[in-house]
Amino acid sequence: MHAPAACKPFAARPQCAVRPRVDSTVQRHPTPLMKYLHTMVRVTDLDASLKFYRDALGLQEVRRSEHEAGRFTLVYLAAPGDEDAQIELTYNWDPEIYTGGRNFGHVAYAVPDIYAACQRLMDAGVTINRPPRDGRMAFVRSPDNISIELLQDGPALPPAEPWISMPNTGAW
């Protein structure tokens, strides 16, 4: 995309040190012209959602706004140190029921210790739908059935119990 002269593009951002999942042949632009902000999900219970996304998954609340006129609250969460890539929780004050759809798949995060991440989720009462039997990948679901993928950063951890013996539960 060409940025017209009248338009102020994003300030140049320093290259990040860790880009393990990107093809090194891709051309890098010194000045991003477009930028990922967030993935928005709707939540029926804000407290239960914060227990999941913040307390169990480990994200941090970075911003919140209450909208009296529209009767909704927005809560933005991000991994600590990775505040640019956010998940936006939309909580409508008037109750709604949210079903899932197959066009949306999941939101994925890399974690430094997938066993520790899954243990903390389990301790919070979250079902590990796809346990990290391979030391590499796990899936859980939010209270509103949003699928979250956890991927071990770097090489897989050595297989370990209780994960090796833990069966899959449901779909993800």
Shortest Cβ 85–its own copies spacing (Å)? 4
Name the residue with tokens 């939101």: 107
**124 in contact with its own copies (CB under 8 A):** no
Please state, in angstroms and rounded to a whole number, the distance separating the CA atoms of residues 153 and 103: 27
**54 in contact with its own copies (CB under 8 A):** no
Q: Judged by CB, which is closer to its own copies: 51, or 106?
A: 106
Contacting residue, 17, 69, 125, 161, with its own copies by CB under 8 A = 17
Q: Which of residues 18-47 bind its own copies (CB under 8 A)?
A: 18-19, 21-23, 26-42
Which segment (106-114, 129-137, 164-172) binds its own copies by CB under 8 A?
106-114
Which segment (93-101, 126-134, 160-168) binds its own copies by CB under 8 A?
93-101
Is 149 among the catalytic positions? yes
Q: Judged by CB, which is closer to its own copies: 9, or 164?
A: 9
DSSP secondary structure letters along 115-172:
HHHHHHHHHTT---SB--TTSSEEEEE-TT--EEEEEESSSPPPP-TTTTTPPP-S--
| Closest to 77 in 3D by CA, of 116, 46, 103 | 46
Q: Are 100 and 42 in contact (CB under 8 A)?
A: no
3-class SS at 19? coil
Of 83, 88, 96, 149, catalytic: 149
Residues involved in catalysis: 149
